């Protein structure tokens, strides 16, 4: 089935496509996969039904206010059969329907913005989960690699100890490091298990072999993040639409306070004579002029406006904070890459050679291996924070998801 212009899939298909990307064909394929997964999430399905219900409310609001009324009566006087039939219609004198039709347009905008907000939230959380999963898997790889290296080192230490090249203290020191590493591996694997469940909760068909976010998805330059019009951000659009809906409700209340007359036309027979009648009635709003309802509706509209302004202001600061945070992490990540330049990857073999020839003691070697592992973890952590920061920035700016025009 072809997705409608404003369906969740149409909204989701723009995920990440609003960002300048490399490998456009691969990007589209991955984005389509992501859209299919997110569209299956119960939160998005619930938001879709909620939006559909609100659109039905809008359609109901557009319907005519008053239906015509048909009246029929009959009686018998002596030998004469009398009857009367009439038709009456209440007139929308103050054009309440015009105000309700305007309200219906705003309800549709609010419904669409609410759906976009749900999709944006689910998209952000899904990408966050994928980034976290990738980082935990890399941490696990480092922990396992460190354990394998210590296992191999233990065999060498035992051989050199038998040869009299090393003392018993070296073996005990290595045993203590290996014991601690076993705990670290277990914690790393548990973290991966938790991260996997988080991704699977958000992306129903995802499996670990599907991997994380492909590298070609990430923008390469800071300049590719432009200023966003926050009024189009789904959260801001929801608040603004709700304010406008309440504002239109205040206008409906004002017009409703104006009395609507009813005109009727009837005809029949009475005492053998044809009779025709015309009626006109209008409520007299003397005991209740509905001014309290008008004031209450105006107050609700003012409250919604203030909440919209507060949220808009907060979003501006949140966006500025997210941009500053991402720039900070991205800068440090670039600096770490400049410093490492493959040195961390090559250092393990170099350290082992120095230990073999006696340039490093066993304790120094173990300490250096630990520092190397920490350096690798630092790089992974910085990359994770930079990626999370970018996702947060795109989420706060509303660029993460842009409906098709």
pLDDT in tens, the chain (405 residues): 344 444 555 544 444 444 444 445 666 778 888 888 888 999 999 999 999 999 999 999 889 888 999 988 887 777 778 888 889 998 988 888 899 999 999 999 999 999 999 999 999 999 999 999 999 999 999 999 888 888 877 777 777 666 666 566 767 777 777 788 888 899 999 999 999 999 999 998 899 888 888 887 775 445 455 555 788 899 999 999 999 999 999 999 999 888 889 999 988 887 777 888 898 989 888 888 889 999 999 999 999 999 999 999 999 899 989 989 999 999 999 998 888 776 766 677 777 777 777 777 778 877 888 888 888 899 999 999 999 999 999 888 888 865 322
| Residue 205 forms part of a structural domain | no
pTM of the model: 0.81
CA dihedral 93, 97, 100, 105 (to 10 degrees): -140
Q: Measured at the alpha carbon of residue 87, what is the angle toward residues 82 and 92, in degrees to the nearest 5?
A: 155
Distance of CA 131 to the CA centre of its chain: 16
113 Cβ contact list (under 8 Å, min separation 6)? 234, 237, 238, 240, 241
pLDDT of residue 21: 40
| Residue 264 forms part of a structural domain | yes
Q: How far apart are CA 184 and CA 189, in angstroms?
A: 9
Handedness of CA 226, 230, 235, 238 (dihedral sign): negative
Q: Which two tokens stand for residue 372?
A: 């190397």
Q: How far apart are CA 244 and CA 51, in angstroms?
A: 17
CB burial of residue 21 (10 Å; 0-12, 13-18, 19+): buried
| Residue 303 forms part of a structural domain | no
Q: Which two tokens stand for residue 331?
A: 């800068």
pLDDT of residue 221: 42
pLDDT of residue 29: 79
Q: Are 290 and 257 in contact (CB under 8 A)?
A: yes
| Residue 395 forms part of a structural domain | no
Structural domain for 74, as ranges: 67-92+260-278
| Residue 404 forms part of a structural domain | no
| Residue 272 forms part of a structural domain | yes
| Residue 75 forms part of a structural domain | yes
**What does 97-138 look like in DSSP terms, one character per residue?**
HHHHHHHHHHHHHHHHHHHHHHHHHHHHHHHHHHHHHHHHHH
| Residue 50 forms part of a structural domain | no
Straight-line distance from the first to the last Cα atom of the chain, in angstroms, rounded to the nearest whole number: 20
Closest Cα partner for 18 from 314, 324, 318, 233? 233
Q: How far apart are CA 261 and CA 204, in angstroms?
A: 58
Domain count, the chain: 1
């Amino acid at each position: 089935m072809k997705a409608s212009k404003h369906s969740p899939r149409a909204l989701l298909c723009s995920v990440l496509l609003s960002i300048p990307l490399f490998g456009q064909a691969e990007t589209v394929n991955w984005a389509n996969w992501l859209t299919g997964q997110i569209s299956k999430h119960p939160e998005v399905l619930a938001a879709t039904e909620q939006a559909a219900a609100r659109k039905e409310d809008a359609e109901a609001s557009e319907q005519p206010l008053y239906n015509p009324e048909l009246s029929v009566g009959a009686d018998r006087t002596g030998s004469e059969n009398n009857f009367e039939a009439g038709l009456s219609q209440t007139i929308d004198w103050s054009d309440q329907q015009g105000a309700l039709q305007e309200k219906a347009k705003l309800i549709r905008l609010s419904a669409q913005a609410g759906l976009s907000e749900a999709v944006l939230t689910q998209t952000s959380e899904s990408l966050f989960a994928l980034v976290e999963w990738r980082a935990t898997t890399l941490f696990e790889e480092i922990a396992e690699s460190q354990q394998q290296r210590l296992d191999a080192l233990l065999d060498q230490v035992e051989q050199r100890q038998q040869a009299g090249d090393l003392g018993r203290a070296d073996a005990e020191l290595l045993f203590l490091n290996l014991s601690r590493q076993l705990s670290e591996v277990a914690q790393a694997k548990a973290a991966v298990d938790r991260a996997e469940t988080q991704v699977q909760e958000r992306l129903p068909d995802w499996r670990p072999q599907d991997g994380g976010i492909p590298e070609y998805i990430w923008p390469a330059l800071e300049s590719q993040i432009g200023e966003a019009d926050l009024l189009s951000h789904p959260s801001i659009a929801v608040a603004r639409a709700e304010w406008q809906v309440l504002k239109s409700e205040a206008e409906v209340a004002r017009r409703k306070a104006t009395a609507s007359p009813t005109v009727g036309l009837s005809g029949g027979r009475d005492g053998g004579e044809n009779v025709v009648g015309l009626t006109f009635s209008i409520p007299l709003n003397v005991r209740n002029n509905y001014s309290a309802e008008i004031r209450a509706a105006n107050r609700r509209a003012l409250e919604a406006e203030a909440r919209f302004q507060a949220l808009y202001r907060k979003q501006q600061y949140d966006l500025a904070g997210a941009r500053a945070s991402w720039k900070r992490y991205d800068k440090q990540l670039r600096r770490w890459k400049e410093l490492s330049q493959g040195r961390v990857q090559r250092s393990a073999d170099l350290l082992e050679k120095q230990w073999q020839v006696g340039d490093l003691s066993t304790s120094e070697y173990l300490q250096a291996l630990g520092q190397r592992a920490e350096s690798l973890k630092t790089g992974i952590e910085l990359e994770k924070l930079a990626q999370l920061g970018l996702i947060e920035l795109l989420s706060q700016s509303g660029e993460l998801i842009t409906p098709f025009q």
